[in-house]
Chains A and B, each alone.
Chain A
């Protein structure tokens, strides 16, 4: 994985010093809250429902064991012994004190981490495929391109006061595991005539007005990648709407201009920029790539897995994914125990995951946008030992991509923007399906819950989505069906009137039962929905 050189280290150290100074000026009264807010946000510090919340960047979701240990130490030293892994592959701490925030950033800087641009109207942490470098189907490892863009976007002088936040995802396979087309810019590394390049998808997003990004350029040569991104951003910075924050994302600009006009404006800007020396030399990309070489996979590693323990065999079937190296898999650690809080991990669990990553996965782990953790490179021969350790710590739930593997935003339990609680709904749904035994039969069923229209819980992209709303001061939940964040991307549609908390749990089970009744061979929930449409579900729900 990428390691800082002295330059990267100087930059995060300078940021710590800057924020220490800014926080002091706020505490001393030299900055008003209005002036301080954008500054603290650009360091990931929110004022949330109960306290300050700190969002720490995990670039493209990749961590080594030392970093995961540091995250655990921060949870104990400055917070309340836990953290929350997010749908942007980051981690959030919920009980941070302003007077200690700079110390946390200093502790992060010691392990090559930071909270730079994890909020604010700037380019946010770049996300990527959680199986990067391991997936059997990838063209190349997408992370060097994400890292190149991370450096370009860090402290960008022109794009730090954009109309609105800006999220970029980079993938390099036809299978989309990063919700690429639901980002402000989604980049897919592709091959054309033997050359690598980048396809640009611009103007996707969830939130209030969900949109799927159109492809505006199917091939940007790799030695123009940064310049093209710069052109995309400049057009947005100049022309994105600033009169209404709900219409300020780039998706609205691309929609209102039309993707052809937007692309034309970008191409004109790009042509002017070509001589401006914006693009790093190709040698820089080569340098970054050297950090993402394959680890030393054992040649001839055994393909055998002893499946005599049925619980273990179930976990292997559910939670491991094919790897490009023979004898290896990627293993998913579920942060979705039945009745648990999706994405939360205690400091002890973080330390265990760190130690297991070191022992079994070449010192590397990944945060998934589905709020689970991946050990990307595990020998099949080590799986039983890994599972035994996980299971003993409540981390062995065999439920990847099942109805129990629910994405949920923090919701009204933590978030000042939320209208309804998300976590209790997720808890009750996972308990319901664990009790009625339908989880296995339902197979892949992606359920995603947001506590408000901002859609941090990706409800538009759920096979089943749930959106919490405020109905005259009472929590109410809308049900959506038919969304997907993957390569078969689609936006979910609302079924009809909302439900109370007990009602939404019943409604999810009702929808699942319609699928079980109607499905044909090999169909997932999503496939059945697409074939039969909304009507049978509506009849069952409201009939």
Chain B
């Protein structure tokens, strides 16, 4: 069940831990300095640059300035593949019809520009009884079930 944080009424989290309480910095300033534990990845950023520093990251925000720009799906997935366990939050133009794919790519929090209806969200996330691929979530692909 999603946890609707009290300070931010658009934030939806699928995590038990407390949200990071400070703002995310850009990838450049994160790499330059910093003591920050939260970073914001823009579509043109190379998320791989964060991989040497995953230990000190608690929040990665992946920005979707426009819902049609799908680079953030790859950014999320490659961070999970590299072992990132902290919060992975999709922010920006995040629509309800995209959250199921985003969950599969490893996102476990959403902070969309326009609030998502909780019932629409529940419907979208329970839509797919099965999945065809192995991805960054724990779901078992159909091919695995066929040959279990």
Partner of A14, one of B75, B95, B129: B129
The answer to whether the Cβ of B68 comes within 8 Å of any Cβ in the partner chain is yes
Cβ contacts under 8 Å, B147 to chain A: 281, 283-284, 287
| A158 close to B127 (CB less than 8 A) | no
> What sequence of 0s and 1s flags, for each residue 79-121 of chain B, a beta carbon within 8 Å of any chain A beta carbon?
0010000000000000101101110110000000000000000
> What sequence of 0s and 1s flags, for each residue 264-300 of chain A, a beta carbon within 8 Å of any chain B beta carbon?
0000000011001110110110010000000000000
Cβ contacts under 8 Å, A287 to chain B: 146-147
Pick from B71, B105, B143 the residue with the most CB of A within 10 Å: B143
Would you list the 6 A-B pairs with minimal beta carbon distance, nearest first? Answer: A161-B70, A157-B104, A280-B143, A157-B101, A284-B143, A7-B142
Cβ contacts under 8 Å, B25 to chain A: none
The answer to whether the Cβ of A352 comes within 8 Å of any Cβ in the partner chain is no
A39 to B43, CA, bound (A): 21
Cβ contacts under 8 Å, B133 to chain A: 152, 156-157, 278
| A281 close to B135 (CB less than 8 A) | no
Cβ contacts under 8 Å, A277 to chain B: 134
Pick from B73, B81, B144, B145 the residue with the most CB of A within 10 Å: B73
28 A-B contact pairs sorted by A residue (CB < 8 Å): A7-B142, A10-B130, A11-B132, A14-B129, A17-B127, A18-B127, A35-B95, A38-B68, A121-B68, A152-B132, A152-B133, A157-B73, A157-B104, A158-B74, A159-B70, A161-B69, A161-B98, A162-B70, A234-B78, A237-B70, A238-B71, A242-B43, A242-B69, A273-B81, A276-B81, A278-B133, A280-B143, A281-B144
Least CB distance from B41 to A in Å reads 12
A160 to B77, CA, bound (A): 14
A84 to B11, CA, bound (A): 47
Cβ contacts under 8 Å, B67 to chain A: 35, 38, 161
| A161 close to B68 (CB less than 8 A) | yes
State which residues 151-181 of A face B: CB under 8 Å: 151-152, 154-163
State which residues 221-244 of A face B: CB under 8 Å: 234, 237-238, 242
Interface residues contributed by chain A, number (CB under 8 Å): 40
| B135 close to A155 (CB less than 8 A) | no
Least CB distance from B107 to A in Å reads 10
Least CB distance from A145 to B in Å reads 14
> What sequence of 0s and 1s flags, for each residue 26-54 of chain A, a beta carbon within 8 Å of any chain B beta carbon?
00000000010011000000000000000
| B97 close to A234 (CB less than 8 A) | no
Partner of A161, one of B73, B129, B132: B73
A360 to B135, CA, bound (A): 44
State which residues 122-167 of A face B: CB under 8 Å: 151-152, 154-163
A302 to B43, CA, bound (A): 63
For A21, give the chain B residue with the smallest CB separation.
B123
| B127 close to A237 (CB less than 8 A) | no
The answer to whether the Cβ of B141 comes within 8 Å of any Cβ in the partner chain is yes
Q: How large is the interface on B (under 10, 10 to 19, 20 to 34, 35 or more residues)?
A: 35 or more
| B132 close to A272 (CB less than 8 A) | no
| B129 close to A10 (CB less than 8 A) | yes
Main secondary structure on A side of the interface with B = helix
Cβ contacts under 8 Å, B142 to chain A: 7-8, 11, 151
| B134 close to A5 (CB less than 8 A) | no
A224 to B122, CA, bound (A): 36
| B134 close to A7 (CB less than 8 A) | no
| B97 close to A7 (CB less than 8 A) | no
State which residues 17-73 of B face A: CB under 8 Å: 43, 67-71, 73
Least CB distance from A267 to B in Å reads 15
| A237 close to B135 (CB less than 8 A) | no
> Which A residues are closer than 8 A to B by beta carbons?
5, 7-8, 10-11, 14, 17-18, 21-22, 35, 38-39, 121, 151-152, 154-163, 234, 237-238, 242, 272-273, 276-278, 280-281, 283-284, 287
The answer to whether the Cβ of B131 comes within 8 Å of any Cβ in the partner chain is yes
For B114, give the chain A residue with the smallest CB separation.
A35
Given contacts A151-B143, A157-B73, A157-B101, contact A276 B130 (CB under 8 A): no
Cβ contacts under 8 Å, A156 to chain B: 132-133
Cβ contacts under 8 Å, B102 to chain A: 157
For B141, give the chain A residue with the smallest CB separation.
A280
| A284 close to B68 (CB less than 8 A) | no
Pick from A237, A272, A287 the residue with the most CB of B within 10 Å: A237
Given contacts A5-B146, A7-B145, A152-B132, contact A160 B101 (CB under 8 A): yes
Partner of B128, one of A14, A158, A162: A14
Least CB distance from B4 to A in Å reads 21
Least CB distance from A179 to B in Å reads 26
Partner of B74, one of A7, A8, A234, A284: A234
Cβ contacts under 8 Å, A154 to chain B: 132
| A14 close to B127 (CB less than 8 A) | yes
For B100, give the chain A residue with the smallest CB separation.
A157
Partner of B131, one of A155, A160, A276: A155
Cβ contacts under 8 Å, B97 to chain A: 22, 39
For A237, give the chain B residue with the smallest CB separation.
B74
Cβ contacts under 8 Å, A242 to chain B: 43, 69, 71
Least CB distance from A345 to B in Å reads 31
A43 to B95, CA, bound (A): 17
Least CB distance from B52 to A in Å reads 15
| A158 close to B105 (CB less than 8 A) | yes
A485 to B68, CA, bound (A): 32
Least CB distance from B147 to A in Å reads 5
Given contacts A151-B132, A284-B147, contact A158 B73 (CB under 8 A): yes
For A156, give the chain B residue with the smallest CB separation.
B133
Cβ contacts under 8 Å, A160 to chain B: 70, 73, 101
A380 to B118, CA, bound (A): 63
Cβ contacts under 8 Å, A38 to chain B: 67-68
| B105 close to A281 (CB less than 8 A) | no
Least CB distance from B50 to A in Å reads 14
Cβ contacts under 8 Å, A121 to chain B: 68, 70
Cβ contacts under 8 Å, B69 to chain A: 161, 242
Cβ contacts under 8 Å, B71 to chain A: 237-238, 242
Least CB distance from A16 to B in Å reads 11
Least CB distance from A447 to B in Å reads 37
Cβ contacts under 8 Å, B128 to chain A: 11, 14, 155
